[in-house]
Structure 1
Amino acid sequence: MCAIAGIFDLYRHAEIDTELLRQMTDIQRHRGPDGRGVHHEPGLGLGHRRLAIIDLAGGQQPLFNENHTVAVVFNGEIYNFAVLKRTLEQYGHIFRTHCDTEVIVHAWEQWGEACVGHFRGMFAFAVWDRKQQCVFLARDRLGVKPLHYACLADGQVVFASEMKALLLHAGLRRELDPLAIEEYFAYGYVAEPRTIFRQIRKLEPGHTLLLRKGFEPPAPRRYWDVPFRVHPVATDANYALHCEEELLARLREAVHIRMVAEVPLGAFLSGGVDSSAVVAMMAQLSSQPVNTCSIGFDDARFDESPYAHMVAQRYQTRHHCQTVRQHDVDLVDQLAGLYDEPFADSSALPTYRVCQLARQRVTVALSGDGGDENLAGYRRYRGHLREERWRSMLPLGLRQPLLGALGRLYPKADWAPRPLRAKTTLQALARDSVEAYFHTVAIMNDTQRQRLFSPALHNALGGYHAVEVMRRHAANSPAQDALSMVQYLDLKTYLPGDILTKVDRASMAHGLEVRSPLLDHQLVEWLSGLPPAFKLHGDSGKHLFKRALGPYLPHDVLYRRKMGFSVPLADWMRGPLRARLQASLDSPLLADCGWFDPAGVRELLARHLSGRSDHSAPLWSLMMFESFLRQTAAAPTSGRQRQAA
């Protein structure tokens, strides 16, 4: 795992600022502590920081072809590189190293833009082709690895793994995007392709961008999507059994190809089904005990570590567990600095700790990320399907006025028994499917954001609503049923925007590479085609997966109530985090930015501290936003660029 950086001048052949290039590269040193490489020529600069995993002696980057006309900087792993190497050698390509990076160079020479379709792995890379005078940017299908870019007013395009590298360029405006603020306070992250800065974009998962000298940058091109084509259902009674066997075979193979490394290897073990399944497969494939790491909490309501110990004992792993305690809230500012933009998932805290723990023993860790999205593991899917059945009974034209009015009139009764809390249900039934799911996942509902945002921000939004993120993806979705649709929406939004961003930044902060077998794109494609009932059966998510894993995992691990990887945030905010929270919300930065209504902020805080409501997610998002503002205001641009400006 590594970091990349680059500068490409679309119109001039003048020397780029080499000192700036080095600074952009080295500010990402945490991603690649094992070495630095830079290359520059008129109109181009490429930088790389390396975390050595494969071919420790020969994988330095930028890496060139034989005649130095094509170069690549690459972050990630190409798991099928050995097969690709043999294929490319048959075409006459000559390899000088044993690392996976070199296949990208020769694949570009052989197949051009179509090279990405041949790669099986996680990746973000930039290819420079001197003959064609172009830079080709690409990101993996699911968005495991990040890639940011910005088109500047002077014709330069800058790109990097992390935004902190781009912010060093004095030509980049640090103007915040109001639409990104709306998305952040709705989702808890800024959705792809937007970032918190107007001028910076994320290259979306499964997309490429071809930059040619002398031409305006085109729109990114999508090269892959989750198909959601249902497999033809066999008529024989053993069809489900066949699927169980194939699922296990595919999972085992996805794990196996991710165990190739020349450095110590291990796994995260949360005690949930997905990470436990990965560890079970690793144990069968390894001749040595698997290194496993988990995080516990000093609050039993959030502690899954006993289940992790069950799996560790069953497979005799070298297991290590660390407890997250309340004093860990001191990590708030450190976390804000990792993400470069506001990021409101509080589970970033235990994720940071488990990566820190793992790095003490291994350099590569396998994770169970992606299981909930691919196998319908989230509880919210069950609620959404129930609502969909009710919504199907009345057309939208009747539901909106009738149930919408009832929802507005019905009192909000968070204190009442669940059957009497009808307000939220009535409001959900009055919406269309996409809007209803948006409100299910939103960390702040429309009313809360309306009260929190200032008139100036409402004016700047110009009517923009964060649900448009989901509407855009829903319009392109191949899904044919309600469950597949919300899975697709999560694969396009929550997975890359939250889960994978969280894991990438937390792991890279410690120079740890994380690999996710359940996000193998061939496995994802196959899983998307399973009948919905094989995923969500009654109230049981991951139905087929759990049945297949019956011989490998304890019943209590497979069928216990899902806890999720979360922290006791609501209690912390009324206890050890209270002073820190109040200081953040009283910060002049929040008041002076002009985006928030002070009365709305005070109301959120008062209702939470009184115990009447749980507003921990909105309050955490405000606290992280304030920390982002403080760190961004203090972050310098490049020294040379600053003097020139």
Structure 2
Amino acid sequence: MCGIAGIVCGAFDHIPDRALLECMGQSLAHRGPDQAGIYTGVGIGIVHRRLSIIDLTHGRQPMVGGEGRWVLSYNGEIYNFRELMQELSELGYSFEGHSDTEVLLQAWRAWGRACIDRFIGMFAFALWDNETRELHLVRDRLGIKPLYYGFTREGDFIFGSELKALLVHPGLARDLDPLAIEEYLALGYVPDPRSILKQVNTLPAGHTLCFRPGEMQPVAQRYWDVDLSKQHDGDEQSLMESLRERLADAVRLRLIADVPLGAFLSGGVDSSAVVALMSETMPSAVQTCAIGFDDPAYDESPYSRQVAKHFSTDHDELIVHAAGHEMFDRLAEVYDAPFADSSALPTYAVCELARRRVKVALSGDGGDEIFGGYRRYRLHLSESRVRELLPLGLRKRLFGTLGRWYPKADWAPQALRAKTTLQALARDTVEAYFHTVSATPHTVRQRLYSTRFRSELQGYSALELFREHARHATTDDPLRIAQYLDLKTWLPGDILTKVDRASMAHALEVRVPLLDHRVVEWGMSLPTARKIHRGESKYLLKRALERDLPSEIIYRRKQGFSVPLKQWFRGPLTEPFEKVLQNSALADSGLFDMDEIRCVWREHHTGMSDHGTVLWSLLMLNSSLEHLVRYPAYTASHDTLARPLV
């Protein structure tokens, strides 16, 4: 895994400042501590930081090929590179080593952009064509690897694996994007294609971008999407066997490495399945690691220990406690943009733990999204059945009224907390699902925003993003629509961002076999009844794994990788948040009505309501704003270099 960055000059005859490029590369040193490389030419500068995983001797980047025509800087892994190398060799292309970087470069020479369709893997890369003077940016199908791009005040086009590489450029304005703030508060992350800054975009998953110097608005082009119009079924036994074969092949491909390799093990179905399939293939014990909590209600470590014992893995674990204030600053440095998924804390910790013994780790991420594992999917299906019985107009009048008047009883037993369900029944499928996944509800966001900021938004709601994605969902099945929305927003914006930044902060490569695009396409085409059957989530996946895993692991209640925010904000996080209320970047931003934030804080702290997620979102936003202000840009007169993350 690696870090990439670069500059295409607005002035055609300029050569980028090499010291500036070094500075951009230094900001990504944590992603690639093994090697550094720079390429400069007329109008172009590309920098690379390498984490050596395959072919440790060769594969240095930026890699130049085609007699100097092509320059490649690549972050990722192409798992079927050996098969592609054989095919390219038969076509007459030669190789100096056995790295997938060289295969990528030769594949582009042979097949052009169409080569992407042949790749099985995770990747984000920049390819400069010295002949046509075009820069090609490419991101993998699911968005496992990140890629940012934007323009400076002087018209330079800049790109990088993380936002911090762009922040290094002194010409980048750091103006906040108000629409991104709204989307962040709604979802807990900034979804593609925005970033927290107006001048910077994220290349969406499954897209390419071709930039030609002089262009002001390059347009990203989609090259892959899940076709929801396809649906297949069959007898259960055949489907189970097919699924297990696909998973086994995806895991096998991801065991190729020239460095120590292991796995994350939470004790849930997905990570346990990956470890089971690794144990079948690997000649020695699988290295596994897990995180637990000092609060038993959130601690899954007994289950991970049970699975580790079942497969005789070499297991390591760590117990996580409430973090101190310094950890918030650390998360802001790791994620750059605000990121409110509280499981970033244990994810960061498990990556640190894994890196002590391995350089590559496999994870079970993606299983819930592809095979229907979230509790919210079951609820969405149940609500959809009710919505189908009554027309929208009647539902709005009936359930909308009940939802407005029903109290938000956070203190009450689960069965009496009906407000969210009533509100969902009054909405259409897309709005209802958006309401379900919102970290901060619309009414709370409007309550917290300042009058000035509401004016800047001009009525924009993050719901519009969901509606835009839903227009591409070629199905009316409510579960598949919800899964598709997650594939476009939650998966790349939250889950994969969380794992990429936490792992790369420790120079650890994480591979996600359940997000092999062939598994995704096959899994998404399954009928809803094969995913959720008689209230059982991930039905087919669980049935397929019954021969591998103990029943009590497969069919135990899903717990999740969350942290006890409600309790933490009534305990160890009290002091950090009270500092935010007194004097902070959040208070100075003008985005919020601080009196309303104090009111929400009192409601939570006194036990009147559970605002733990909202308060965490605000705390993370404050840390991110402070990070964006203080992160140093390059200055030639003082030869200032960006601070490395590690």
Supply the distance in 1 between the matched residues of 2:226 and 2:553 (Cα, whole angstroms): 29
* Aligned counterparts, 1:299-318, within 5 A: 299-318=295-314
Asked if the contact 1:66/1:94 (under 8 Å) is kept, the reply is: no
Letter in 1 for 2:284: Q
Spell out, residue by residue over 1:394-415, the C-alpha distance to the aligned partner (whole angstroms, 9 max, x if none). Answer: 1112222332223223333334
Match of 1:377 among 373, 388, 394: 373
Asked if the contact 1:585/1:623 (under 8 Å) is kept, the reply is: no
- Aligned pairs, number: 640
Spell out, residue by residue over 1:298-342, the C-alpha distance to the aligned partner (whole angstroms, 9 max, x if none). Answer: 111011111111110111100001110224564111011111111
Supply the distance in 2 between the matched residues of 1:326 and 1:152 (Cα, whole angstroms): 40
* Aligned counterparts, 1:584-603, within 5 A: 584-603=580-599
Asked if the contact 2:274/2:363 (under 8 Å) is kept, the reply is: yes
Aligned equivalent of 2:471: 475
Compared with structure 1, are the counterparts of its residues 489 and 73 closer, same or farther at alpha carbon in structure 2 (3 Å cutoff)? Answer: same
Compared with structure 1, are the counterparts of its residues 299 and 221 closer, same or farther at alpha carbon in structure 2 (3 Å cutoff)? Answer: same
Asked if the contact 1:78/1:100 (under 8 Å) is kept, the reply is: yes
Supply the distance in 2 between the matched residues of 1:140 and 1:132 (Cα, whole angstroms): 24
SS of the residue aligned with 1:639?
A: coil
Asked if the contact 2:232/2:527 (under 8 Å) is kept, the reply is: no
Aligned equivalent of 1:535: 531
Supply the distance in 1 between the matched residues of 2:532 and 2:84 (Cα, whole angstroms): 37
Supply the distance in 2 between the matched residues of 1:139 and 1:621 (Cα, whole angstroms): 28
Asked if the contact 1:129/1:135 (under 8 Å) is kept, the reply is: yes
Compared with structure 1, are the counterparts of its residues 297 and 588 closer, same or farther at alpha carbon in structure 2 (3 Å cutoff)? Answer: closer
Aligned equivalent of 2:434: 438
- Cα distance, 1:571 vs. partner? 1.0
1:81 has 2:81 as partner:
yes
Asked if the contact 1:479/1:488 (under 8 Å) is kept, the reply is: no
Aligned equivalent of 1:92: 92
- Cα distance, 1:388 vs. partner? 0.5
Asked if the contact 2:66/2:109 (under 8 Å) is kept, the reply is: no
Gaps of 5+ in 2: 641-646
Name which of structure 1's ranges 18-27 and 365-374 shifts more when overlaid on structure 2. 18-27
Aligned equivalent of 2:643: none
Supply the distance in 2 between the matched residues of 1:11 and 1:638 (Cα, whole angstroms): 20
Spell out, residue by residue over 1:63-119, the C-alpha distance to the aligned partner (whole angstroms, 9 max, x if none). Answer: 121512111000000001111111112222121121000112111112222221111
1:386 has 2:361 as partner:
no
* Aligned counterparts, 1:354-365, within 5 A: 354-365=350-361
Letter in 1 for 2:444: Q
- Cα distance, 1:19 vs. partner? 1.0
1:297 has 2:290 as partner:
no
Supply the distance in 1 between the matched residues of 2:521 and 2:71 (Cα, whole angstroms): 31
Name which of structure 1's ranges 288-297 and 478-487 shifts more when overlaid on structure 2. 478-487
SS of the residue aligned with 1:249?
A: helix
Asked if the contact 1:322/1:357 (under 8 Å) is kept, the reply is: yes
Supply the distance in 1 between the matched residues of 2:407 and 2:141 (Cα, whole angstroms): 45
Aligned equivalent of 2:621: 625
Asked if the contact 1:10/1:212 (under 8 Å) is kept, the reply is: no
Aligned equivalent of 1:180: 180
Aligned equivalent of 1:46: 46
Supply the distance in 1 between the matched residues of 2:103 and 2:328 (Cα, whole angstroms): 40
Letter in 1 for 2:16: I
Spell out, residue by residue over 1:170-220, the C-alpha distance to the aligned partner (whole angstroms, 9 max, x if none). Answer: 211100011111011110001100011000000000000011244444310
TM-score, length-scaled by structure 2: 0.97
Aligned equivalent of 2:14: 14
Supply the distance in 2 between the matched residues of 1:5 and 1:23 (Cα, whole angstroms): 10
Aligned equivalent of 2:504: 508
- Cα distance, 1:531 vs. partner? 1.3
Supply the distance in 1 between the matched residues of 2:215 and 2:413 (Cα, whole angstroms): 62
Supply the distance in 2 between the matched residues of 1:395 and 1:523 (Cα, whole angstroms): 37
Supply the distance in 1 between the matched residues of 2:61 and 2:410 (Cα, whole angstroms): 57
Asked if the contact 2:410/2:610 (under 8 Å) is kept, the reply is: no
Spell out, residue by residue over 1:374-425, the C-alpha distance to the aligned partner (whole angstroms, 9 max, x if none). Answer: 0100000011111111111111122223322232233333344444433322
Compared with structure 1, are the counterparts of its residues 292 and 420 closer, same or farther at alpha carbon in structure 2 (3 Å cutoff)? Answer: closer
* Aligned counterparts, 1:239-318, within 5 A: 239-318=235-314
Name which of structure 1's ranges 269-278 and 391-400 shifts more when overlaid on structure 2. 391-400
- Cα distance, 1:630 vs. partner? 1.4
Name which of structure 1's ranges 215-224 and 357-366 shifts more when overlaid on structure 2. 215-224
Asked if the contact 1:376/1:541 (under 8 Å) is kept, the reply is: yes
Letter in 2 for 1:59: G
Supply the distance in 1 between the matched residues of 2:497 and 2:413 (Cα, whole angstroms): 37
Compared with structure 1, are the counterparts of its residues 139 and 642 closer, same or farther at alpha carbon in structure 2 (3 Å cutoff)? Answer: farther
Aligned equivalent of 1:326: 322
Aligned equivalent of 1:143: 143
- Cα distance, 1:562 vs. partner? 0.5
* Aligned counterparts, 1:129-140, within 5 A: 129-140=129-140
- Cα distance, 1:368 vs. partner? 0.2
Aligned equivalent of 1:199: 199
Letter in 1 for 2:364: G
Match of 2:422 among 418, 423, 426: 426
Report the RMSD for the aligned CA atoms in angstroms: 1.5
Name which of structure 1's ranges 153-162 and 420-429 shifts more when overlaid on structure 2. 420-429
SS of the residue aligned with 1:13?
A: coil
Asked if the contact 1:174/1:197 (under 8 Å) is kept, the reply is: yes
TM-score, length-scaled by structure 1: 0.97
SS of the residue aligned with 2:72?
A: strand
Asked if the contact 2:409/2:609 (under 8 Å) is kept, the reply is: no
Supply the distance in 2 between the matched residues of 1:247 and 1:623 (Cα, whole angstroms): 42
Supply the distance in 2 between the matched residues of 1:66 and 1:451 (Cα, whole angstroms): 58
SS of the residue aligned with 1:29?
A: coil
Spell out, residue by residue over 1:563-609, the C-alpha distance to the aligned partner (whole angstroms, 9 max, x if none). Answer: 00011121111111211121123224222210000111001110111
Compared with structure 1, are the counterparts of its residues 137 and 419 closer, same or farther at alpha carbon in structure 2 (3 Å cutoff)? Answer: same
Supply the distance in 2 between the matched residues of 1:320 and 1:250 (Cα, whole angstroms): 29
Supply the distance in 1 between the matched residues of 2:202 and 2:62 (Cα, whole angstroms): 22
Letter in 1 for 2:558: K
Supply the distance in 1 between the matched residues of 2:135 and 2:416 (Cα, whole angstroms): 59
Gaps of 5+ in 1: none
SS of the residue aligned with 2:248?
A: helix
Letter in 1 for 2:457: L
Letter in 1 for 2:489: T
